[in-house]
Amino acid sequence: MTGVDAICWRELEAGLDDRGYAVTPPLLAPDTCAALAALFDDDRLFRSTVEMARHGFGRGQYRYFAVPPGPVAGLRNALYPKLAGIANRWAAMLGMSGDWPAQHAELLARCHAAGQRRSTPLLLRYGPGDYNCLHQDLYGPIHFPLQAVVMLDRPGVDFDGGELVLVEKRPRMQSRAEVIRLEQGCAAIFPVRERPRQGRRGVHRTEVRHAVASVGGGRRRTLGLIFHDAA
């Protein structure tokens, strides 16, 4: 079974609360993964291409879709409503206004009204020795607090290494890292900027950044789903 219907949202939400991330069952079939990965070389589909080494971001390439193709837009729209509920609960835990709209189209309308009109879903491609430095995908003052990365290739077959890395900066404590190995078609869902974390003295705000470890060999391609658009 693939697709958003395969997700146990209670388990996913518990994972986000406990560890700061959650991994889904396969959301995309292998043939869909291969078809999406193959889009990387079609220049007509993208509004921007970033050579990571040129900007000190790491090594590798990523490309932002000018308009997300059907499977990408469909997956983004299907994931968003449940994630919006989690985002609103997290906001309440942090003493913030939890007013993320119930449907993704409403979030995009809010972004566009604020001048954030550029599409943010992207494809990323890494080869041997490529990596991505720790960062956050904010893109403007409106940034939905959760995002997803979907693995399009087969770890251990198409590439080695290249694990997703999350680092939490905890108040008055040393930073904590998580290393996530995704299977083809599966997604990691994690914070864009911060999350609530239950401590001994109550809930506190924990900053999160993410990165990709060095690829040992082969080619690693992923689909990035940021739910807000960019300024």
Tell me what pLDDT residue 98 has. 84
Residue 231 inside a domain? The answer is: no
Phi, psi of 93 (to 5 degrees): -60, -30
Which are the contacts of 36, defined by CB distance < 8 A and separation ≥ 6?
28, 69, 71, 72, 123, 152, 223
What pLDDT sits at residue 1?
59
What's the CATH code of the domain at 74?
2.60.120.620
Please report which helix (H) or strand (E) contains residue 85, including its range: helix 70-93
Angle at 168 between CA 22 and CA 20, to 5 degrees: 20
How far is the C-alpha of 131 from the C-alpha of 17, rounded, in Å?
A: 27
Strand partners of residue 151: 222
In a domain, 183, yes or no: yes
Q: How many CA atoms lie within 13 A of 194 on its CB side?
A: 15
Distance from C-alpha of 212 to C-alpha of 186, rounded to nearest angstrom: 16
Q: Is residue 134 part of a domain?
A: yes
In a domain, 108, yes or no: yes
The residues, any chain, with a CB within 8 Å of residue 127's CB and separated by 6 or more, are 60, 215, 218, 219, 220
| Assigned domain for 97 exists | yes
Domain that holds residue 73: 4-226
Q: Tokens for 21?
A: 């991330």
Q: Which of 172, 179, 164, 165 has the alpha carbon at shortest distance from 206?
A: 172
Q: Which amino acid is at 96?
A: M
Neighbours of 103 (CB within 10 A): 12
pTM over 0.75: yes
Contact indicator for 117, 229 with CB cutoff of 8 Å: yes
**Residue 38, domain member (yes or no):** yes
* CA pair distance 196, 205, nearest whole angstrom: 5
Q: How many domains does the chain have?
A: 1
Q: What is the mean pLDDT of each run of 10 residues along the chain (231 residues)?
A: 89 96 97 98 98 98 97 97 98 91 98 98 98 98 98 98 95 88 98 90 90 98 98 96
Determine the pLDDT at residue 80.
98
According to DSSP, the residues that pair with 178 across neighbouring strands are 166
Residue 75 exposed, middle or buried by CB count within 10 Å (0-12, 13-18, 19+): buried
pLDDT at position 71? 95
> How far is the CA of 131 from the CAs of 36, 123, 139, in angstroms?
21, 14, 21
